[in-house]
Amino acid sequence: MSKKRGLSLEEKREKMLQIFYESQDFFLLKELEKLGPKKGVITQSVKDVVQSLVDDDLVSKDKIGTSVYFWSLPSCAGNQLRNVRRKLESDLQSSKKRFTELVDQCNELKKGREESDEREEALAELKAIELKYNELKEEMGQYADNDPAAFEAMKKAIEVAHGAANRWTVVLKQLS
């Protein structure tokens, strides 16, 4: 009582490509829908399978008048594979070239950074200067409340608030 399972999408694609390669002919969608079940691909899925093959450039499609023709020749598939291979090889070469450039650049950057007593002293001095800078910055933060510029800004804000309060007082007196 085992149920027969259907074909996977990849198997359907292979079967449809076999139809094209064996006949080396042009087909309408209706013709493919008739030939598909003979290869084990159900009629309802033929359109989707053929469209996926067209999307992957394994099958060509062209509209002539009101009809849409599909075709795929073994030589076209071979040409596409050769083109893909050429592109991948050129990508590989450019990646190798970029890798060697980056290795050279890395080596160039390492030249001035060899471990030495002089470099260690410079790094220690840099660290000490950074610590002193951070301490002074914190101290400046403590004195920010006594900053003359901040004090002047607060004075101006008080004057503006005082003037606004006087205006509102005048307005409220007139309303009452």
In a domain, 124, yes or no: no
| Digit-coded pLDDT (tens) for 28-73 | 888 888 888 888 888 888 888 888 888 888 888 888 888 888 888 8
In a domain, 52, yes or no: yes
Encode pLDDT of 111-140 as tens digits: 877 777 888 888 899 999 999 999 999 888
Whole domain around residue 44: which residue ranges?
9-72
Residue 118's pLDDT is 84
CA separation for the pair 78, 136 (Å, rounded): 72
pTM: 0.46
**Rounded distance between C-alpha atoms, residue 114 and residue 120, angstroms:** 10
Whether residue 121 lies inside any domain: the answer is no
Determine, yes or no, domain membership for 171.
Answer: no
Strand 27-28 with 67-71, pairing = antiparallel
Give CA–CA dist 56/49, Å, rounded. Answer: 11
Q: Which residues contact 36 (CB under 8 A, 6 or more apart)?
A: 15, 16, 19, 42, 43, 45, 46, 49
Q: Looking at the 3D structure of the chain, how many domains does it have?
A: 1
pLDDT of amino acid 132: 95
Q: Is residue 20 part of a domain?
A: yes
Does 4 score more than 70 pLDDT?
Answer: no
Q: Is 102 helix (H, G, I), strand (E, B) or coil?
A: helix
CATH code, 31: 1.10.10.10
Residue 1 has a pLDDT of 44
Report pLDDT digits (tens) over 79-97: 878 888 999 999 999 999 9
